[in-house]
Structure 1
Amino acid sequence: MAKSILEIKQELEGRVGQRVLVTAQAGRKRVAKHHGVLSKTYPAIFVVHVNEGQGQISRISYSYTDLLTQNISIDFEDEEAQA
């Protein structure tokens, strides 16, 4: 991923609408993984729409600093399919 918040924001703005896998630290040894769609970027955060089953859709927001500090990682599913 990029080295500054501005670069991270610009990269994510160009990928709005793409499917993603977000891996987040949920505690000491727990990891939460969410499949969804990068839906919107804002000045300080970005939003991922997540399907939780049975037609329920929820939104999870993350800050760009979460990516910068590696509290979360984001993988774009179209890149995984090409590999």
Structure 2
Amino acid sequence: MLERNSLTKIRKDVEGCIGKKVILKANKGRKKTTVREGILESAYPSLFVVRICNQYDSTRRVSYTYSDILTETVEVTICDEAQRKIKIS
């Protein structure tokens, strides 16, 4: 039951940050991690979507589940207007 409450809390935290700039650090396995910066675009009951723009002016959308945050496969850091960084966990 603790896990369900944790997933619910993570989902509410993510839903409260829609439209904000985020930094994603994703663990790809075998000591490979990627760090991306984007905007939290939308949140659904089981996943959330981040829009990423790169230096080549192409837009890409990536999606992750809330359990990815719970299992620490993905670290999400919210950047607010005052340039503070808030980690969702």
The reply to whether TM is greater than 0.5 is yes
Mapping for residues 4-19 of structure 1, pairs under 5 Å: 4-19=6-21
TM-score, normalised by the number of residues in structure 2 = 0.83
Residue 48 of structure 1 aligns to which amino acid in structure 2?
V
Paired letter, 2:13 = E
Aligned to 2:71: 69
Match of 1:38 in 2: 40
CA RMSD of aligned residues (A): 1.8
The CA deviation at 1:32 is 0.5
1:37-82 Cα offsets, whole Å, 9 max, x none, are 0000001000000012221000000000000111110001228823
Q: Is 2:77 aligned against 1:59?
A: no
Higher strand share: 2
Question: Are residues 10 and 81 of structure 1, via their aligned partners in 2, closer, same or farther at CA, if it must alter by over 3 Å?
Answer: same
Q: Distance in 2 between matches of 1:34 and 1:80?
A: 20
3-state SS of paired residue (1:53): coil
Report how many residues are paired: 81
Aligned-residue sequence identity (percent) comes to 32
Aligned to 1:55, the other structure's residue is in SS state: coil
* Partner SS state of residue 81, structure 1: coil
Change (3 A) 1:54 1:17: same
The alignment status of 1:81 with 2:45, answered yes or no, reads: no
Partner SS state of residue 8, structure 1: helix
